[in-house]
Structure 1
Amino acid sequence: MSEKSATLAINEQMQEYVRNGVPVINLGFGEAGLPVLPVLRDLVAAHSALNAYPAVQGAVSTRRAIAGYFQRRSIPADADLCLLAPGSKAILYGLLASIPGDLVLARPSWVSYAAQAEHLHKNVIWCQAPASAGGIPDPQLLPSVLEEARRSGFDPRVMILTSPDNPSGTVASAEQLRALATTAESQDLVVISDEIYRDLAYDQAGYTSVAELIPDRTVVTTGLSKSLALGGWRLGVARFPATADGQALHDRFIALASELWSGTSILLEPVVEYAFNESPDVVRRITRSRHLHSTVSHAIYQIFRDAGAAVREPTGGFYLYPNLAGTGLARRLGAHTDGQLSATLMDRFRIATLPGSAFGDLPERIGLRIVTSMLYGISDEQRLATLDAGDPLSRPSVSQGLERIREVVLSDSPS
């Protein structure tokens, strides 16, 4: 693995276009697209004199806040088995490094899972996601996929589930998770539940975590990059099972973390504590953000539906994953692979997307990962106005972006 992450590469490309004044419809980089909640900025300023090295796993009060967050979601959590780290991506890598065996993933999956496994010399065992929701292996297919993998000499030991999912913007059902939990138990798989988008699931009451079903074999990861738009602050957290195996995994992880990143920025620990204690202002911001993401995602979803794409209706986060094979758009642009279509949209129309093959999908399916949250505006003032708008679709940046997407995706001869 010698290439930069596809998501980070496209973000840097978009930043270069902005610096050069080139207008681009950015549907490529998975950033929440909203300003920082003011109280969190104030917390950083108030604690900016702190400069001591932190505890590797985080302060006790911070870990208690994290444990409380999980407990309020019916996930058993012990503060001594919770931790924070500089981003959930670092946690995921540390977990994969600390758990032996090969990795089971849905196809498609977020770009970094397979890339991290490759860096760690682990095999990836792909299982197609079901038609109804991405982020999970199809429960009906998984047992036979695992059987075939073992016959081929692989050693499946850990499975990552993502709900809501990136790239599809969908939430796995409780029934699907129950079936996967049964397979995980019978096949002795450790489950990593990546719930970085959990608080952006549109139906919070109907959300189920696999950690509610099999808490003793599930590690849950999340963070503040999506729900509170703090991607650049690099704040991730994890909850480990309260079992002997969970304690051993936690201890191996902490040993690795102590050599890799020492600890999370101490001046940001109060932010984590405040956010995971879920004060009313935090809850209000996340609730409003969730509504905005849902509104804009559904508007773009309808455009791709009108274009004849196979696309799941979004149920969480700010993504869509249309498959455009056989559509008029693919034919008009002469695209036979996802890479060709993504490149043409960028080169001819300045619409940035990521091809599905970056997420492990098959290029001939012509899947594109569409980010809907970068249409909210360029400045913080514009983004906040979009967040506060009664009708966000009427905001200039959103309406103009939708109009351009509609023109290119649906027009017989877009310009």
Structure 2
Amino acid sequence: MTRATKTYVSETVSRLKPSGIRRFFDLAASMEGVISLGVGEPDFVTAWSVREACILSLEQGYTSYTANAGLLELRQEISSYLSRKFGLFYRPEGEVLVTVGASQALDLALRAIVNPGDEVIVVEPSFVSYGPLVALAGGVPISVRTNGADQFKLRPQQIEEVVSSRTKALILCSPNNPTGTVLNQEDLAAIARLVEKYDLLVISDEIYAELTYDEPYTSFPAVEGMRERTILVSGFSKGFAMTGWRLGFVAAPEEVLQAMLKIHQYTMMCAPTMAQYGAIEALKNGEHDVDEMRKSYRRRRNYFVQSLNDIGLHCHLPGGAFYAFPSIASTGMASEQFAERLLLEEKVAVVPGSVFGASGEGYVRCSYASSLEQLQEAIKRMKRFLSRL
């Protein structure tokens, strides 16, 4: 075989599609005057006390590796946080792992549990990385399509329609990215019965757990019988406005957690030391800052979702995260066409719903993690765009 016909890239990676979100970010970045509703990131700066704790750790020379699992003090704070917020208890010494963002936690979880050919149920619309991470772990992602008429809630019968003898796990995300949908205690209990019936593991992505607005949050492992079946993934990026710090964590039964730690040792060693010191401060003293952000997001959500409905884009009221997921069916356009024209004609960047799976077609994701003034201007531009169609 000559070099001209030979490829060194693996077939698995070759088959992966690039993130559909990035194309619109790159296009928007090349234009002046764009209002971006596409970025899945808080518009708040990390609290000063957290930044100060990080600076102090550098001044004191804490620049070496930590334990592979993370600073014990941070793991203790994570354990305490999960206990007081969600009624969960995980031993800091063997059931908590500090990771480089929740993204690495998801990757570790899948690689730790998936055998070649195992099926993993992915609930659509879904965060863009779930399916690719399953494939990279050697598994087969199996999509379950939720629908807007039911506010994109996962129902037990939808799991039963796709589960098979090869199904190993289910990935849940509540509050959901991109829909903002929150599964309440009753929803989760119904799903839990199916998880037990089919002997499944659940990877519960709870990165937006701090950002819920209308009812108390229920963590999936807090549902009766689910702690031993759940890998809880979370982190500091969203609720604590620490996206660039790249710090997440996992809480899981010891057998699974130690398997994840084994992979983490070989691929990452440990999370950044100074970020870990910042996270300790965030968990100890950051609750007020989180409360203020939550209140601000709730006000923006209420304004933005009502305004979308007023201009003719039907949108359910999302219970959490900082995304609205309006239907664009009334325009007769596909999601990608709508997003591209809105960007080019009115300089408003949104994300096509189709990048989150087939069930996202006909919708767009809009982040309301922007100032109220920007949201008001975005609505004005979107209304003008719609009036020309």
**Is the TM-score greater than 0.5?**
yes
The answer on 1:35 being equivalent to 2:34 is no
Partner in structure 1 of residue 104 of structure 2: 90
Contact 2:324 2:367 in 1 (8 A): yes
Alpha carbons of 1:178 and 1:133: their partners in 2 closer, same or farther (altered >3 Å)?
farther
Corresponding residue SS for 2:157: coil
5+ residue gaps, structure 1, are 242-246, 377-392
Task: Read off the aligned partner of 1:175 and give its amino acid letter.
Answer: E
- Residue 141 of structure 1 and its aligned partner are, at CA, apart by 2.0
Task: Read off the aligned partner of 1:92 and give its amino acid letter.
Answer: L
C-alpha RMSD of the superposition:
1.9
Moved more, 294-303 or 90-99: 294-303
5+ residue gaps, structure 2, are 1-14
- Residue 185 of structure 1 and its aligned partner are, at CA, apart by 0.9
Task: Read off the aligned partner of 2:87 and give its amino acid letter.
Answer: S
Task: Read off the aligned partner of 1:359 and give its amino acid letter.
Answer: F
Partner in structure 1 of residue 90 of structure 2: 77
Distance in 1 between residues matched to 2:102 and 2:70, nearest whole Å: 14
CA deviation profile, 1:27-63 (whole Å, cap 9, x unmatched): 1111111112111111111111322111111011110
- Residue 240 of structure 1 and its aligned partner are, at CA, apart by 0.6
> How many residues in Structure 1 have an aligned counterpart in Structure 2?
365
- Equivalent residues in 2 for 1:57-136 (5 A)? 57-72=69-84, 73-80=86-93, 81-100=95-114, 101-129=118-146, 131-134=149-152
Distance in 1 between residues matched to 2:234 and 2:155, nearest whole Å: 23
Partner in structure 1 of residue 363 of structure 2: 367
Partner in structure 1 of residue 184 of structure 2: 173
- Residue 284 of structure 1 and its aligned partner are, at CA, apart by 1.5
Contact 2:50 2:279 in 1 (8 A): no
Partner in structure 2 of residue 265 of structure 1: 272
Task: Read off the aligned partner of 1:75 and give its amino acid letter.
Answer: L
Alpha carbons of 1:227 and 1:12: their partners in 2 closer, same or farther (altered >3 Å)?
farther
Contact 1:169 1:319 in 2 (8 A): yes
- Residue 307 of structure 1 and its aligned partner are, at CA, apart by 4.1
- Residue 345 of structure 1 and its aligned partner are, at CA, apart by 1.3
The answer on 1:44 being equivalent to 2:58 is no
Contact 1:346 1:352 in 2 (8 A): yes
Partner in structure 2 of residue 160 of structure 1: 171
Distance in 1 between residues matched to 2:81 and 2:315, nearest whole Å: 33
The answer on 1:283 being equivalent to 2:291 is no
Contact 1:56 1:257 in 2 (8 A): yes
Task: Read off the aligned partner of 1:194 and give its amino acid letter.
Answer: D
Distance in 2 between residues matched to 1:413 and 1:161, nearest whole Å: 39
Distance in 1 between residues matched to 2:383 and 2:231, nearest whole Å: 41
Contact 1:341 1:366 in 2 (8 A): no
Distance in 2 between residues matched to 1:41 and 1:15, nearest whole Å: 27
CA deviation profile, 1:284-330 (whole Å, cap 9, x unmatched): 211111111122122221233234444221211210111222x1xx2
Distance in 1 between residues matched to 2:150 and 2:293, nearest whole Å: 24
Corresponding residue SS for 1:255: helix
Partner in structure 1 of residue 202 of structure 2: 191
Distance in 1 between residues matched to 2:377 and 2:222, nearest whole Å: 42
Normalising by structure 2, we get a TM-score of: 0.88
Q: 2:348 aligned to 328, 351, 354, which one?
A: 351
Partner in structure 2 of residue 384 of structure 1: none
Partner in structure 1 of residue 377 of structure 2: 400
CA deviation profile, 1:132-178 (whole Å, cap 9, x unmatched): 444x63223211221xx45xxxx211111111111011211211100
Partner in structure 1 of residue 310 of structure 2: 306
- Residue 115 of structure 1 and its aligned partner are, at CA, apart by 1.8
Calculate percent identity across the aligned residue pairs. Answer: 25
Distance in 2 between residues matched to 1:7 and 1:57, nearest whole Å: 31
Distance in 2 between residues matched to 1:39 and 1:3, nearest whole Å: 40
Moved more, 118-127 or 107-116: 118-127
